[in-house]
């Protein structure tokens, strides 16, 4: 793959938006949008001896954006974050923060807020001392420091805990303190390394909302690393999906979710059925894909950006877009095929069905308000072509 | 018997072999020593049983014993400080090295496979009149006559450091190894240099290990008699040498008993004082 980034929304990205002249002037900005870029990764590569953790990657993150690096473990997302933080040196390429090249700037001079998965609070210091830690190295007077610490603790909704020690707080509270400690120094960029993954499921969802609220309130450019797709979808302005050290797709959550740029993205975000297909031509603005299971499906051009001309392709059908219904005549413009329910995974408000249509096994996630279909039930699978996406065969 | 009662008894059952050993091998002999210290050694060389304070009187009032005791504590203190200064960086290196910690720790333990006495005597082959250093210096023509490097306080401290350094390194290593490395990353990200981060975070968190290693070095150093015997001169006797001299050479068990109890009392008191601070340090560690 020569070009790592396939989809290319405005503002956040790569060769076109790199302007050495603007960088030299102390400011890198995208000419189309005029948004000042806060963090720029320019062709960075990270190799550990023979192993390449991050292949040539470029990214531009606009000021104030919340950008998530999403991918499974080992995909290079944390390595990328650590390079921005200054905990790792890129093997090749440049990293710019607010237009300043930081490759040779040590971590303590980068002015970053860093939040770790395990909180990393100093156990021998009180909460107030923890939060004030970064202010000491910024020449903030004691009086100002006290005010700013108080302000930061109020922002994370833990105003009364300054005299306690980290061990006396719960995991969620410790993570709020870690966040307060990172933002009290007014960092240029906030870097969050899987900050929610050590928390319980319920708490994680609360903290997700809380974290996003705080980020929006202070407007700090944020890079968030996670392997959790729901966190990424819920919090991000832009998602960077990574796999095996390469960027698979960059885009707004709904774009990445609805129009995956690769089979990997389609499978990693949510559950998808990926069917072998053939593009047999165009029908107005749609690419017509022929599949064994669903026959001819006209996929809107916007959802088939990389499928052009006739030839083999893949049809992506999200599990929740595949509707099960009793076998009766479908409405116009709806593709319907007969299928049999093989297994039922009842989840309360939704059901995940494993169905067989012909000799193909598919999964469908349907909201239900009554009884789910039983195993072995004959059903009709319905699909609106505009809910499908098409991928080229790589 | 109920489950609760069985469970309540279990710790005692598990402890009993160790407690029996400590009772038989430590407390019973200690009681003998206490009793001995009040006996009297007569001019004929026989020991007179009874309750006499002569030995204690001599041990506590003779400035000879007091001076040697103070000198012993001084040598132990210097040894402990040298061990801390040399051991901490080594422990830090091992704790922060990637992958080969087990090998480094094994290398650290390697000297324990050789008798302490032999390790101590090896210095004679290195620093002695016909030892390695002198031979090389003479061969190189730098000196004509061998240097007298052995049998002084410095070589005693050298021998003690050689003996005690692994104890210090192991203790510091254990506490450094338990410190989350992301704490230093966090400190650095907040603006602290590597050194400031170390002073603010790693050093305070490793103090319990440094304190434990220090106590061990001090007590073992203050109680040794082999190192000064092998590497010290005639004036470098440490307190345990006096006990050795009284009991083995003069066969004066009552005086030897009183002297050894005196050393035990001084070191015991130091341990208690130390434990107050060590206890606090442990509490701090417990907060982490």
Residues paired with A114 in a beta bridge: A191
Closest Cβ–Cβ partner in B186, B192, B204 for A124: B204
Q: Report the distance separating Cα A78 and Cα A5, nearest Å.
A: 18
A288 three-state secondary structure:
strand
User: What does the pLDDT read at residue A22?
Assistant: 31
User: What does the pLDDT read at residue B89?
Assistant: 96
Instruction: Name residues whose C-beta falls within 8 Å of residue A386's C-beta, 6 or more positions apart in sequence.
Output: A299, A300, A303
- Say if the Cβ atoms of B192 and A133 lie within 8 Å: yes
User: What does the pLDDT read at residue A311?
Assistant: 83
The DSSP secondary-structure symbol of A107 reads: G
B42-55 pLDDT per residue, tens: 888 788 888 999 89
Residue B224 is assigned to a structural domain of this protein: yes
Average pLDDT over residues A100-124: 93
A312 vs A288, A295, A302, A392, CA distance in Å?
Answer: 11, 14, 18, 7
Q: Is the CB of residue A345 less than 8 Å from the CB of residue A351?
A: yes
**A344 at B interface, C-beta within 8 A:** no
Q: Is the CB of residue A252 less than 8 Å from the CB of residue A9?
A: yes
A109 contact residues in B (CB cutoff 8 A):
191
Q: Report the distance separating Cα A183 and Cα A215, nearest Å.
A: 9
User: What does the pLDDT read at residue A31?
Assistant: 45
B→A contacts (Cβ < 8 Å), by residue, are 180, 182-183, 185-194, 196-197, 200-201, 204-205, 284-288
User: What does the pLDDT read at residue A327?
Assistant: 80
β-strands A286-291, A272-283 pairing: antiparallel
- Say if the Cβ atoms of A124 and B188 lie within 8 Å: no
- Say if the Cβ atoms of B189 and A107 lie within 8 Å: yes
Asked whether the predicted pLDDT for residue A362 surpasses 70, the reply is: yes
Q: Report the distance separating Cα B2 and Cα B20, nearest Å.
A: 27
B231-279 pLDDT per residue, tens: 998 888 899 999 999 999 988 999 999 999 999 999 999 888 887 876 6
pLDDT band at A279 (very low <50, low <70, confident <90, very high): confident
Asked whether the predicted pLDDT for residue A372 surpasses 90, the reply is: no
User: What does the pLDDT read at residue A137?
Assistant: 93
Range of the domain at B230: 55-287
B82-104 pLDDT per residue, tens: 999 999 999 999 999 987 889 99
Instruction: Name residues whose C-beta falls within 8 Å of residue B59's C-beta, 6 or more positions apart in sequence.
Output: B65, B255, B258, B259, B262
User: What does the pLDDT read at residue A92?
Assistant: 94
Average pLDDT over residues A244-260: 92
- Residues (pLDDT < 50) of chain B are 283, 286-288
- Say if the Cβ atoms of A137 and B201 lie within 8 Å: no
Q: Report the distance separating Cα A122 and Cα B287, nearest Å.
A: 10
User: What does the pLDDT read at residue A36?
Assistant: 66
Residue B256 is assigned to a structural domain of this protein: yes
A134 contact residues in B (CB cutoff 8 A):
190-191
**Angle formed by the axes of helices B63-96 and B203-222, to 10°?**
140
- Say if the Cβ atoms of A137 and B192 lie within 8 Å: yes
Q: Report the distance separating Cα A151 and Cα A215, nearest Å.
A: 15
Domain count, chain B: 1
In this prediction the ipTM stands at 0.79
A234-244 pLDDT per residue, tens: 999 999 999 99
Which of B52-57's residues contact partners 24+ apart within 8 Å by CB, and which partners? B52/B254, B54/B254, B55/B254, B55/B255, B55/B257, B55/B258, B56/B258
Q: How far is A163 from chain B (nearest CA, A)?
A: 13
pLDDT band at A10 (very low <50, low <70, confident <90, very high): very low
Nearest CA in chain B to A108: B191
Average pLDDT over residues A205-231: 92
User: What does the pLDDT read at residue A183?
Assistant: 94
CATH number of domain containing B186: 1.10.3720.10
Q: Report the distance separating Cα B236 and Cα B253, nearest Å.
A: 23
A12-16, A290-294, A375-379, B143-147: range with lowest mean pLDDT? A12-16
**A199 at B interface, C-beta within 8 A:** no
Closest Cβ–Cβ partner in A87, A112, A118 for B180: A118
| Residue among A225, A188, A195 nearest A95 (CA) | A188
User: What does the pLDDT read at residue A330?
Assistant: 66
Q: Is the CB of residue A350 less than 8 Å from the CB of residue A365?
A: yes
Instruction: Name residues whose C-beta falls within 8 Å of residue A187's C-beta, 6 or more positions apart in sequence.
Output: A111, A112, A113, A220
**Angle formed by the axes of helices B153-177 and B101-109, to 10°?**
150
Closest Cβ–Cβ partner in A120, A182, A185 for B182: A120
Q: Report the distance separating Cα B273 and Cα B73, nearest Å.
A: 15
A281 three-state secondary structure:
strand
A313-331 pLDDT per residue, tens: 889 999 988 888 888 766 7
Q: Which domains does chain A have, with CATH numbers?
A: 15-111+187-258 (3.40.50.300), 271-392 (2.40.50.140)
**Maximum distance among all Cα pairs of chain B, rounded to whole angstroms:** 83
User: What does the pLDDT read at residue A194?
Assistant: 93
A33-47, A336-350, B113-127: range with lowest mean pLDDT? A33-47
B197 contact residues in A (CB cutoff 8 A):
108
A161-175 pLDDT per residue, tens: 999 999 999 999 999
**Rounded mean pLDDT of chain A?**
85
Residue B18 is assigned to a structural domain of this protein: no
Residue B217 is assigned to a structural domain of this protein: yes
Task: Using a pLDDT cut of 70, give the percent of chain A over it.
Answer: 90
Closest Cβ–Cβ partner in B188, B194, B201 for A122: B201
Q: Report the distance separating Cα B224 and Cα A263, nearest Å.
A: 72
**A139 at B interface, C-beta within 8 A:** no
- Say if the Cβ atoms of A113 and B189 lie within 8 Å: yes
Task: Using a pLDDT cut of 90, give the percent of chain A over it.
Answer: 54
- Say if the Cβ atoms of B191 and A185 lie within 8 Å: yes
Say which residue the tokens 């390697």 belong to.
B110
DSSP codes joined into one string, A43-61: EEEEEETTEEEEEEEEEEE
Q: Is the CB of residue B173 less than 8 Å from the CB of residue B187?
A: no
User: What does the pLDDT read at residue A377?
Assistant: 86
DSSP codes joined into one string, B72-141: HHHHHHHHHHHHHHHHHHHHHHHHH-SS-HHHHHHHHHGGGGS-HHHHHHHHHHHHSTTSHHHHHHHHTT
Average pLDDT over residues A13-34: 38
Residue B127 is assigned to a structural domain of this protein: yes
| Residue among A115, A196, A165, A170 nearest B182 (CA) | A115
Asked whether the predicted pLDDT for residue A25 surpasses 60, the reply is: no
**A172 at B interface, C-beta within 8 A:** no
Residue B34 is assigned to a structural domain of this protein: no
Put simply, the chain A residues between 91 and 120 with a CB less than 8 A from any chain B CB are 106-114, 116, 118, 120
A87 contact residues in B (CB cutoff 8 A):
185
Query: Taken in order B151, B153, B158, B159, is the CA torsion positive or negative?
Result: positive
Q: Which of B188, B189, B194, B282 has the most A C-beta neighbours within 10 Å, making it the best mutation to test the interface with A?
A: B189
Residue B230 is assigned to a structural domain of this protein: yes
Residue B140 is assigned to a structural domain of this protein: yes
Average pLDDT over residues A278-301: 85
Residue B193 structure tokens: 């240099």
B201 contact residues in A (CB cutoff 8 A):
122, 124
Nearest CA in chain B to A183: B190
């Amino acid at each position: 793959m020569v070009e790592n980034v396939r989809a290319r929304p405005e503002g956040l990205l790569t060769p076109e938006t790199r302007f050495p002249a603007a960088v030299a002037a102390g400011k890198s900005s995208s000419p189309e949008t005029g948004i000042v870029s806060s963090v720029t990764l320019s062709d960075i590569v990270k190799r550990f001896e023979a192993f390449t953790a991050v292949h040539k990657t470029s990214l531009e993150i606009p000021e104030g954006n919340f950008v998530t690096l999403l991918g499974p473990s080992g995909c290079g997302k944390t390595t990328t974050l650590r390079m921005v933080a200054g905990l790792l040196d890129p093997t090749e390429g440049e990293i710019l923060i607010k237009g300043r090249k930081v490759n040779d700037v040590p971590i303590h001079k980068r002015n970053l807020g860093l939040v770790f998965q395990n909180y990393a609070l100093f156990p021998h210091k009180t909460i107030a001392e923890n939060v004030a830690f970064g202010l000491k190295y910024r020449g903030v007077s004691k009086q100002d420091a006290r005010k700013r610490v108080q302000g930061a603790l109020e922002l994370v909704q833990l105003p009364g805990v300054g005299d306690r020690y980290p061990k006396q707080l719960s995991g969620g509270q410790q993570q709020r303190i870690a966040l307060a400690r990172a933002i009290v120094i007014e960092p240029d960029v906030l870097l969050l390394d899987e900050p929610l993954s050590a928390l319980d499921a319920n708490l994680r969802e609360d903290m997700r909302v809380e974290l996003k609220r705080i980020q929006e309130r202070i407007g700090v450019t944020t890079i968030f690393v996670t392997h959790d797709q729901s966190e990424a979808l819920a919090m991000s302005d832009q998602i960077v999906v990574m796999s095996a050290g390469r960027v698979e797709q960059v885009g707004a959550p709904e774009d990445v979710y609805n129009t995956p740029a690769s089979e990997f993205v389609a499978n990693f975000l949510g559950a998808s059925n990926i069917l072998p297909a053939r593009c047999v031509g165009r029908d107005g603005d749609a690419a017509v894909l022929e599949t064994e299971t669903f026959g001819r499906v006209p996929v809107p051009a916007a959802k088939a950006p990389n499928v052009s001309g006739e030839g083999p392709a893949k049809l992506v059908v999200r599990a929740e877009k595949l509707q099960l219904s009793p076998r009766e005549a479908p409405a116009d413009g709806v593709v319907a095929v007969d299928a049999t329910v093989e297994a039922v995974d009842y989840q309360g408000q939704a059901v995940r069905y494993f169905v067989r249509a012909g000799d193909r096994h598919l999964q469908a996630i349907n909201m239900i308000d009554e009884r789910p279909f039983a195993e072995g039930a004959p059903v009709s699978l319905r699909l609106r072509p505009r809910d499908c996406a098409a991928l080229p065969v790589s | 018997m109920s489950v609760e009662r069985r469970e309540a008894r279990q710790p005692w059952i598990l402890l009993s072999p160790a407690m029996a050993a400590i009772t038989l091998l430590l407390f019973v002999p200690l009681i003998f020593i206490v009793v001995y210290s009040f006996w009297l050694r007569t001019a004929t060389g026989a020991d007179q049983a009874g309750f006499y304070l002569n030995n204690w009187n001599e041990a506590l009032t003779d400035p000879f014993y007091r001076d040697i005791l103070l000198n012993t504590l001084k040598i132990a203190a210097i040894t402990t400080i040298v061990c801390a200064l040399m051991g901490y960086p080594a422990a830090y290196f091992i704790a922060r090295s990637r992958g080969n910690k087990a090998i480094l720790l094994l290398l650290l333990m390697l000297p324990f496979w050789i008798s302490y006495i032999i390790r101590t005597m090896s210095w004679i082959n290195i620093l002695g009149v016909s030892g390695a250093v002198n031979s090389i210096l003479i061969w190189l023509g730098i000196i004509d006559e061998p240097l007298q490097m052995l049998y002084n306080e410095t070589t005693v401290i050298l021998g003690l450091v050689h003996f005690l350094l692994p104890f210090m390194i192991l203790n510091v290593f254990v506490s450094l190894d338990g410190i989350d490395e992301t704490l230093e990353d966090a400190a650095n990200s907040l603006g602290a240099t590597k050194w400031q981060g170390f002073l603010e975070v790693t050093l305070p968190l490793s103090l319990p290990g440094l304190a434990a290693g220090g106590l061990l070095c001090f007590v073992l150093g203050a109680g040794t008699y082999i190192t000064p015997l092998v590497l010290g001169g005639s004036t470098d006797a440490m307190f345990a040498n006096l006990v050795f001299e009284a009991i083995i050479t003069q066969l004066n068990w009552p005086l030897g008993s009183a002297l050894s109890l005196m050393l035990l009392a001084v070191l015991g008191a130091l341990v208690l004082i130390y434990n107050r601070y060590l206890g606090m340090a442990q509490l701090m560690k417990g907060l982490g």
